[in-house]
Amino acid sequence: MDNKRELNKKNIISDYDLSMAENTLAQSQAQLAQAKAQLTTARQNLSFTQVKSPSDGVINNIPYRLGALVSPSIATPMTTVSEIDEVYVYFSMTEKELLAMTKSGSTIKEEISKIPAIKLQLIDGTEYSIEGKVDAITGVIDQTTGSVSMRAIFPNKEHILRSGGTANVLIPYTMDNVISIPQSATVEIQDKKFVYVLQPDNTVKYTEINIFNLDNGKEYLVTSGLNAGDKIIIEGVQNLKDGQKVQPITPAQKEANYQQHLKDQREGNLATAFN
């Protein structure tokens, strides 16, 4: 345009030609601005073709195929992202169990601090190597079950734990002056547990026991029904009846008999070889 204006000053081109040139420039500038706006819109629309998660995690299955039409109003989400570097584990315990652990705490925060670090037993029976910590306890007791809902948080950098998985929560608990018995020594009938107590005349007495609700999967802690010094049958209880007479043998005697049996077999085989 500067050249056009110089030519106009020298009367080489008319005022009309200069005005037409200025109009053409204005039109071109408007078209350029429109094109830039369209480019911005196109770039924004292109960015929408890549759906990016706001956080790192593991995605679920994607139910839509290539070319399917999706929008923010679709009923089924495109996928679900699980952020699992840390995993929340939800579980519950009875009011009595919770009080036994936290009765000296006056506030929820103090109660949580008194609960020891917990462990997880995975679905395959193995134990998760990293301990977790309870970080939340509901303030309401379920009137139907009498239980309290709780939440624990576990570090999960290796992504071994997955959202929606199941596991057993293991909570360390200390009790004094209790009797520990193998779970294999008990018989369960209608949610009640019984053991066979050995009597002085070598008969067995069918005896109901009460146990602490938490266990390690191998032993029960007996809270009532047995006294210190009582002897119980720990093997073959499914074949016993109340009042039946037995020939008691201690685990040490059983092991000694087994070793003697192995020794007799070896000596018998050796004698056969020399004969």
Please give the share of the chain, as a percent, with pLDDT higher than 90: 33
Residue 247 in this model has a pLDDT that exceeds 70: yes
Q: pLDDT value at position 274?
A: 41
Instruction: Among 40-49, 50-59, 183-192, 241-250, name the one with the lowest average pLDDT.
Output: 50-59
Cβ atoms of 233 and 198 closer than 8 Å? yes
Q: pLDDT value at position 242?
A: 94
Burial profile 53-62: b = 16 or more Cβ within 10 angstroms, e = fewer: eeeeeeeeee
Whether 91 and 159 map to the same domain: the answer is yes
Last residue of a domain, one of 145, 170, 195: 170
Q: pLDDT value at position 200?
A: 94
Q: pLDDT value at position 10?
A: 72
Residue 145 maps to a domain? yes
Tokens of 134: 């309870």
| Model pTM score | 0.49
Average confidence (pLDDT) over 193-198: 95
Instruction: Give the model confidence (pLDDT) of 62-84 as tens digits.
Output: 888 888 887 778 888 878 877 78
Residue 248 in this model has a pLDDT that exceeds 80: yes
Look at 272 and 109; give whichever has higher pLDDT. Answer: 109
Residue 228 maps to a domain? yes
Q: How confident is the model at residue 272 (pLDDT cuts 50, 70, 90)?
A: very low
Q: Domain range for residue 131?
A: 83-170
Cβ atoms of 266 and 215 closer than 8 Å? no
Split into its structural domains, the chain has a count of 3
Question: What does pLDDT average to over the chain?
Answer: 84
Average confidence (pLDDT) over 21-35: 88
Please give the share of the chain, as a percent, with pLDDT higher than 70: 93
Whether 158 and 187 map to the same domain: the answer is no
Whether 88 and 157 map to the same domain: the answer is yes
Q: How confident is the model at residue 254 (pLDDT cuts 50, 70, 90)?
A: confident
What's the first-to-final CA gap in the chain, in angstroms? 126
Residue 144 maps to a domain? yes
Residue 95 in this model has a pLDDT that exceeds 90: no
Q: pLDDT value at position 77?
A: 81
Whether 160 and 96 map to the same domain: the answer is yes
Q: pLDDT value at position 93?
A: 86
Taking the C-alpha atoms of residue 15 and residue 17, their distance in angstroms, rounded to an integer, is 5
Whether 138 and 163 map to the same domain: the answer is yes
Instruction: Give the model confidence (pLDDT) of 197-221 as tens digits.
Output: 999 999 999 999 998 876 677 889 8
Taking the C-alpha atoms of residue 103 and residue 110, their distance in angstroms, rounded to an integer, is 10
Instruction: Give the model confidence (pLDDT) of 126-152 as tens digits.
Output: 999 999 999 988 888 888 888 999 999
Residue 160 maps to a domain? yes
Whether 156 and 202 map to the same domain: the answer is no
Residue 68 maps to a domain? no
Residue 76 maps to a domain? no
Taking the C-alpha atoms of residue 220 and residue 236, their distance in angstroms, rounded to an integer, is 18
Whether 35 and 112 map to the same domain: the answer is no
Q: pLDDT value at position 31?
A: 92
Q: What would the 3-class secondary structure string for the chain be?
A: CHHHHHHHHCCCCCHHHHHHHHHHHHHHHHHHHHHHHHHHHHHHHHHCCCCCCCCCCEECCCCCCCCCCCCCCCCCCCCCEECCCEEEEEEEEEHHHHHHHHCCCCCHHHHHHHCCCEEEEECCCCECCCCEEEEEEEEEECCCCCEEEEEEEEECCCCCCCCCCCEEEECCCCCCCCEEEEHHHCEEECCEEEEEEECCCCEEEEEEEEECCCCCCCEEEEEECCCCCCCECCCCHHHCCCCCECCCCCHHHHHHHHHHHHHHHHHHHHHHHHC
Q: pLDDT value at position 268?
A: 65
Q: pLDDT value at position 273?
A: 44
Q: pLDDT value at position 275?
A: 43
